[in-house]
């Protein structure tokens, strides 16, 4: 009787093909580790790119610092879970306080993308609503409307602007029903939804006081201050750069004067909306001025905003 001896160096011992299977398993494990490492590196890079976009925004230093803390906290809890250590629960519902045009919606959009990148949210989209989108006109209508908006936001952020208006009508107002449905939605979808309540600072402080149950559910409060004159000019420069326009020196001085004047006239005019309106008006005036020249226009002609484009018709 002939006995066939298997070469352990070729097969790894055991039955025929055992060594090949062993090598295949090792190769698959190595490939999986390499893939995971690559995905981890890409995820980290994408998250840092989003954070750089946040830091490129003008002003908002306190907001940026708090978001850095949130990002670091989420990452460390993820690493602790990976090492089988106790991890803190992630309660990331937020209240944004500030005047219109101070960057609240912009920051919310960035947060949605960041949370998707680091695995907190599956989609990271932003659904913006206000009282009219949540409150109905008859009994039962409000609950239905509010639940529909919650479902739209699953996997992302439900951003409720002027949230305090939900509590303005008193006990019999349907706004209270909307609040109750929102709170239930936070519990039912705690792992797939983040809510942000936004509005003027004083009104949001009042809203949380008259709804004490919200205080513990929204542990993160961000304050968005009005921009300074210098920051508003920087925002104007950024808006123009994105559109490939440039302010002449005279136009810059005129814009600085207009910003200072508007802020003296109106208490809460230190916001980006005011600057955007000024810039868009100047672009229209520049277009009229250039067409009236009735001659061939140079590249510089098409790019420069001059003092005359900012004067008149305010």
Q: What does each C-alpha distance from 285 to 131, 236, 307, 311 come to in angstroms? A: 37, 16, 11, 9
Own/partner pairs for 14-21, CB < 8 Å, 24+ apart?
A: none
The CATH classification of domain 59-224, taken from the options 3.60.15.10, 3.40.50.300, 3.40.50.150, 3.30.70.420: 3.40.50.300
- Which pTM value belongs to this model? 0.78
pLDDT string in tens for the chain (314-residue length): 444 444 444 444 555 556 666 666 665 555 545 555 566 677 778 888 999 999 999 999 999 999 999 999 999 988 888 888 888 888 899 999 999 889 999 999 999 999 999 989 999 999 999 998 998 777 778 889 999 999 999 999 999 999 999 887 666 678 788 888 999 999 889 889 999 999 999 999 999 888 777 888 899 999 999 898 999 999 999 999 999 999 999 999 999 999 988 887 766 656 788 899 999 999 999 999 999 988 889 999 999 999 999 985 44
The architecture in CATH of the region 229-310 reads Orthogonal Bundle (1.10)
Q: Which of 68, 74, 72, 76 minimizes the C-alpha distance to 51? A: 68
Q: Which of 169, 180, 167 minimizes the C-alpha distance to 207? A: 167
Query: What pLDDT does 16 receive?
Result: 56
Query: What pLDDT does 52 receive?
Result: 93
- For 12-81, the three-class secondary structure string (H helix, E strand, C coil) is CCCCCCHHHHHHHHHHHHHHHHHHHHHHHHHHHHHHHHHHHHHHCCCCCHHHHHHHHHHHHHHHHHHHHH
Sequence spans of domains, the chain: 59-224, 229-310
């Amino acid at each position: 009787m002939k006995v066939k001896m298997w070469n352990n160096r070729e097969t790894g011992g055991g039955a025929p093909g055992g060594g090949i299977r062993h090598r295949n398993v090792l190769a698959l494990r190595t490939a999986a580790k390499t893939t995971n490492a690559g995905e981890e590196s890409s995820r980290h890079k994408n998250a840092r790119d989003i954070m750089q976009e946040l830091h490129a925004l003008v002003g908002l230093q306190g907001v940026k610092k708090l978001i850095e803390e949130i990002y670091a906290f989420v990452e460390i809890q993820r690493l602790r879970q990976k090492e089988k250590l106790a991890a803190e629960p992630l309660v990331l519902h937020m209240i944004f306080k500030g005047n219109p045009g101070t960057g609240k919606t912009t920051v919310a959009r960035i947060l949605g993308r960041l949370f998707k990148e680091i695995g907190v949210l599956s989609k990271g989209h932003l659904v913006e609503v206000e009282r009219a989108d949540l409150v109905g006109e008859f009994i039962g209508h409000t609950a239905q409307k509010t639940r529909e908006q919650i479902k739209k936001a699953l996997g992302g952020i439900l951003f409720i602007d002027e949230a305090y208006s939900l509590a303005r009508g008193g006990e019999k107002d349907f706004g209270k029903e909307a609040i109750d449905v929102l709170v239930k939605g936070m519990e039912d979808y705690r792992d797939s939804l983040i809510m942000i309540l936004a509005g003027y600072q004083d009104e949001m402080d009042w809203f949380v006081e008259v709804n004490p149950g919200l205080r513990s559910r929204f542990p993160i409060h961000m304050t968005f201050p009005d921009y300074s004159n210098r920051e508003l000019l920087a925002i104007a420069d950024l808006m123009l750069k994105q559109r490939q326009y440039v302010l002449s020196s005279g136009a810059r001085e005129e814009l600085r004067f207009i910003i200072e004047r508007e802020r003296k006239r109106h208490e809460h005019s230190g916001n980006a909306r005011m600057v955007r309106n000024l810039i868009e008006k100047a672009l229209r005036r520049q277009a009229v001025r250039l067409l009236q020249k009735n001659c061939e226009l140079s590249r510089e002609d098409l790019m420069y905003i001059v003092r005359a484009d900012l004067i008149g018709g305010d």
